[in-house]
Amino acid sequence: MNRKSDKPIKITEVCLRDGSHVMQHQYTEDQVRRVARELDEAGMHYIEVSHGDGLGGSTLQYGKSLVDEMKLIEAAVDECQNSKVAVLLLPGIGTVNELKQAHGLGASLVRVATHVTEADVSAQHISMARELGMETLGFLMMAHMAPTEKLVEQAKLMESYGAQAVYVTDSAGALLPHEVKDRIAALRDSLSIEVGFHAHNNLSLAVANTLAAIEEGATRIDGSIRCLGAGAGNAQTEVLLSVLDRMGVNLGIDIYKMMDLAENTVGPMIPRPQEINRGSLVLGYAGVYSSFLLHAERASQRFGIDSRDILIELGKRKVVGGQEDMILDVAAELAKARKLEV
């Protein structure tokens, strides 16, 4: 299927990182151990473990973790015989110190994530990760917010710093399949390294968009089992693997074991069904960072403002990850404006 690349497709399971948003960062060590162990037994290639906002994200602004992420990383590494443990790092939230600590505990891959127009802040972290001997990938978030030419420019910067792959990251779940194809094709034509894709399901397009990315040559692909990720989740791993198998693409991951993990282990852990409700739908419609949903719902209750109005306004202001404090500001402004209207 992946006719445009001779590299094998590699899957990173993100439920223990992106799914941390849904769990309000309250993962226990036992939960991480069980999920990591079962993913390893199923043959998963990479398992990403960290706070939802990456290394160092356990703060009042982003949400405090129940268990220190380094302990969770160590637990996942301890459970994995074959799968590699990955971490996410957003410069400005995580530092090279946390990166070194995670590497020392056994994390062997890092995705260094920046807003789609801010790749220049990743240079130090990508360089350090390469010095440590880690697989080092770039992660351009909110990819719908920049034209394809800008995306290519930023990806080239990450490549120049030493990134071994760059992801088109649809953080808001706002991209349509033809937009994914355009972006992936442009990166494939412009880079000498691998290209990846990270989807969100807010418009019910995560699997379709991922297939579109693979058709254009993306080889680094993300999924979240039972759709356990921010907003309406990511490309549902067990579904994606089943579809790829039907298409003749066997990635060496046991689909039955993934189905059982989804049904028996991850499903019962999820605090609420991962479905496309009005909140997550608005994320994709407005092009807002998927992790903003829970923050907007809390602000809605506090100020008596419809969370959809908050998210739409955030989209108009082009608010990006790292600006979570703006959610309360916007909710307060909308509430004040409503009182003046009355």
115 is catalytic: no
Share of the chain above pLDDT 70, in %: 99
Mean pLDDT of the chain: 95
Q: Which residues are annotated as a binding site?
A: 17-18, 171, 198, 200, 289
Asked whether residue 176 carries a pLDDT value surpassing 80, the answer given is yes
State the CATH class of domain 291-341: mainly alpha
The values of phi and psi at residue 156, to 5°, are -65, -35
Q: What is the mean pLDDT of residues 25-53?
A: 97
Least confident interval from 122-136, 188-202, 303-317, 321-335 = 321-335
Residue 101's pLDDT band (cuts 50, 70, 90): very high
CA end-to-end span of the chain: 59
Asked whether residue 284 carries a pLDDT value surpassing 80, the answer given is yes
Residue 294's pLDDT band (cuts 50, 70, 90): confident
Q: What pLDDT is stored for residue 248 in this prediction? A: 96
225 is written with which tokens? 């089992």
Q: Which residue intervals of the chain bear CATH 1.10.8.60?
A: 291-341
Q: Report the CATH fold assignment for 10-269.
A: TIM Barrel (3.20.20)
Distance CA 181, CA 32 (A): 34
Q: Which residues are annotated as a binding site for Mn(2+)?
A: 18, 198, 200
Distance CA 151, CA 142 (A): 10
In this structure, the number of other CB atoms found within 10 A of the CB of residue 213 comes to 31
Q: List b or e across 146-180, with b for residues whose CB sees 16 or more CB atoms inside 10 angstroms.
A: bebeebbebbbbbbebbbbbbbbbbbbbbbbeebb
Q: Give me the amino acid identity at 111.
A: R
Least confident interval from 54-68, 94-108, 177-191 = 54-68
Q: What pLDDT is stored for residue 338 in this prediction? A: 85
Q: What pLDDT is stored for residue 6 in this prediction? A: 81
Which is catalytic among the residues 21, 45, 51, 115? 21
Q: What is the mean pLDDT of residues 288-308?
A: 90
* 129-175 confidence digits (pLDDT tens): 999 999 999 999 999 999 999 999 999 999 999 999 999 999 999 99
Q: Please name which of 137, 138, 128 lies closest in space to residue 104, comparing C-alpha atoms.
A: 128
Q: Which residue intervals of the chain bear CATH 3.20.20.70?
A: 10-269
Is the CB of residue 110 less than 8 Å from the CB of residue 89? yes
Q: What pLDDT is stored for residue 65 in this prediction? A: 96
Q: What is the mean pLDDT of residues 227-240?
A: 96
